[in-house]
Structure 1
Amino acid sequence: MQSRHFGISSLVLAFAAWLAPPALGQGADSWELPRTPEGRPDLQGVWLNNVATPLERLPELADRSHFTREEVATLAARAERIFQNGRSAFATPESAFRAALQNVETYIAWSTSSSIGMVDVTFSDRTSLIVDPPDGRIPALTPAARRRVAAVDRGWEFKTGPDDLNSIHRCITTGVPRLGGNFGAGPYTFYQIVQTPTHLAFISEAFHDARIIPIGDQPHVSEEIRQWNGDSRGRWEGDTLVVETTNFSPKSHYRGAAEGLHLVERFTRSGPDTLAYRVTLTDP
């Protein structure tokens, strides 16, 4: 099966990343942007986000936004040694990043799964997926927000029914976008993109979510209609597909953002095995 990679970069909060297929035979030197019969970039295929770069910059990296090429090679070599030693536990790409940065001998975690089942992770020169704010970190919570988080944490201790569990534990959805944590990168982030002149379907293997995104000038649904993954509309800006998503449910809670979240995603084919992905989140 041919697959490709995501790459990520970019409240306002911006992230950047890369999606890529598991294996491709075409060299970058001979690559030409594939196009549909309508002349649009062809984004179709099976893609995987396996970038190890964490969502937020780790405190020990301070104000460093990038690694040197030599440091990237060192991190990749460490990860291969750690997770191919036959003793390490399964790790998400973010955890693999931390293990490589700390240069541990063996990665030990609560998981009972072996690292043998992990997908290969890719290291980039960025120290965080967050590119704005420049410090690579999510802004500190306000006092009111900290109180709300504390209330949610207390609720986890005293569950009375399924509605007290989040959407992931109820196997409803991991939310949009998928960045950071267990479902931000790694084996749970295989995606298939199916494309027509008027729609794009974004299908994820984990949770079997299917985002059906109209492409064109259709308006969003009524403000009164709220959905787990919001209401998405796509448009082409040159060779980049721009997807704006609004109308999130109050239950969505992407890192504290919910019904006020405005999401802008940009998908650009940047190579034979790479789909650049930039996302900006705004929540007034």
Structure 2
Amino acid sequence: MAAHFPIRSLTAISLVLSLAAPAAVAQISSTYHAPKNGWGQPDLQGTYTTATITPLTRDPKLGVRNVLTKAEADALEQATRDQIARADAPTPPEATVKDLKNADCGPDGISGFNCGYNQGWKDPGTKLIDINGEKRASIITSPANGQLPPRVAATGGARRAGRTDNPEGFSLGERCLLSFGSSAGPPMLPLMYNNTYQIVQSKDEIAIDVEMVHDVRHIRLNAEHGPSSVKLWMGDSIGHWEGDTLVVETTNMRPEQGLRGGSPNQKVIEKFRRLGPNSLSYQFTVSDPDTYAAPFSGEVEMRTTKGQVYEYACHEGNYALTGMLAGARAEEKHQAEAGGAAKSGGE
């Protein structure tokens, strides 16, 4: 099921705790201070959603402007509500697959017989990220143009020629090993559904239960990183408190997991801070000199939700992976019987 969550940082924090420190995030109000838990820590516990229509990268037409006007924000949010209403409308019982709107997964990509998901499976939210009254045009805040930095190398990449040769050729999400996209992170980014997170604290550790593919991040407090030769799913996360802000440094991520093909040398700095009783600011900076020409930063709003994190039974009733592998084997057999070379890939 889809989900949601929030966070934010201390006084004038610019979420740039990184090497070549990129430009920065907007300053954060210091008027609110989080309540303390039994260990004297700022209490971040709760269930949150990050569902948002704010994209990772900005519309190039906006240039370096990352704050939308009220009219722009209202128009985008209303268009989203209208789109969802159209997608939720009952399908006429006499309609055939050829009659369905967007049969080729058109602009909204939500309906039609060729679509993987219709609106009933989705929950991307209807609101833009709102930080201290600023409606954001992109999650990326640095570089200033809201785009990812230029790539210096093409690393990683699960979808490649020959990916149907073995299960290992498919993405981690398709194999139900880890969340799709970068939902579990780090950085933890919103998706089209399952955006709920639950934060649980103890004296020495903070755990984040991620709805998508039931991942749990473990953040050890005031500890040291393990050896670089030991790579972990979601990396090795070490946290400490700076006032009301939880600062987390993650290294030693497995090479299959790097954000958009990132390298195993990727480092992520995250900052969590309460903006108020019902929201958090989640800021991150990714440094990956093997993949990107410069670090990049972003900010996500996490909002409290009344719901709980439900089980994501990824493989229950999932015949897609076996079906794709079986289809590839059938294609190879057909080509062999026809006397042609078996085609590798099966995209």
- Give the shorter-chain TM-score range: 0.7 to 0.9
2:236·2:251 contact (CA, 8 Å) conserved in 1? yes
1:5 corresponds to 2:15: no
1:170 corresponds to 2:175: yes
Percent of pairs identical after alignment? 31
Greater share of strand: 1
Alignment map for 1:170-189 (pairs within 5 Å) = 170-174=175-179, 175=182, 176-177=185-186, 179=188, 184-189=190-195
Report the Cα offset of residue 118 of structure 1.
Answer: 3.0
Structure 1 gap segments, 5+ residues each: 18-30, 90-105
Report the Cα offset of residue 77 of structure 1.
Answer: 1.8
1:118·1:187 contact (CA, 8 Å) conserved in 2? yes
What's the TM-score, normalizing by structure 1?
0.75
The RMSD of aligned alpha carbons is 3.2
Alignment map for 1:139-150 (pairs within 5 Å) = 139-142=149-152, 144-145=153-154
Q: Does the residue aligned with 1:197 lie in a helix, a strand or coil? A: coil
**Structure 2 counterpart of 1:246:** 251
Q: Does the residue aligned with 1:6 lie in a helix, a strand or coil? A: coil
1:221 corresponds to 2:226: yes
1:82·1:88 contact (CA, 8 Å) conserved in 2? no
Counterpart of 2:86 in structure 1: which amino acid? Answer: N
How many residues in Structure 1 have an aligned counterpart in Structure 2? 245
**Structure 1 counterpart of 2:77:** 76
Report the Cα offset of residue 197 of structure 1.
Answer: 1.4
Structure 2 gap segments, 5+ residues each: 9-13, 27-31, 91-106, 130-134, 290-347
Q: Does the residue aligned with 2:77 lie in a helix, a strand or coil? A: helix
Report the Cα offset of residue 196 of structure 1.
Answer: 0.9
Listed one character per residue, the Cα deviations across residues 153-187 of structure 1 (whole Å, up to 9, x for unaligned) are: 542x553101111211111113512555xxx2453
**Structure 2 counterpart of 1:132:** 142
Listed one character per residue, the Cα deviations across residues 18-47 of structure 1 (whole Å, up to 9, x for unaligned) are: xxxxxxxxxxxxx86322022221111111
Counterpart of 1:206 in structure 2: which amino acid? Answer: M
Could you say if the C-alpha distance between residues 81 and 41 of structure 1 is closer, same or farther in structure 2, counting changes exceeding 3 Å? same
Could you say if the C-alpha distance between residues 57 and 7 of structure 1 is closer, same or farther in structure 2, counting changes exceeding 3 Å? farther
What's the TM-score, normalizing by structure 2?
0.62
Q: Greater CA radius of gyration, 1 or 2? A: 2
1:44·1:195 contact (CA, 8 Å) conserved in 2? yes
Report the Cα offset of residue 252 of structure 1.
Answer: 1.8
Which of 270, 273, 280 is the aligned partner of 2:278? 273
1:13·1:282 contact (CA, 8 Å) conserved in 2? no
Alignment map for 1:23-102 (pairs within 5 Å) = 33-87=34-88
Distance in 1 (alpha carbons) for counterparts of 2:23 and 2:5: 20
Report the Cα offset of residue 85 of structure 1.
Answer: 3.0
Listed one character per residue, the Cα deviations across residues 35-62 of structure 1 (whole Å, up to 9, x for unaligned) are: 2022221111111101211101123434
Counterpart of 1:135 in structure 2: which amino acid? Answer: N
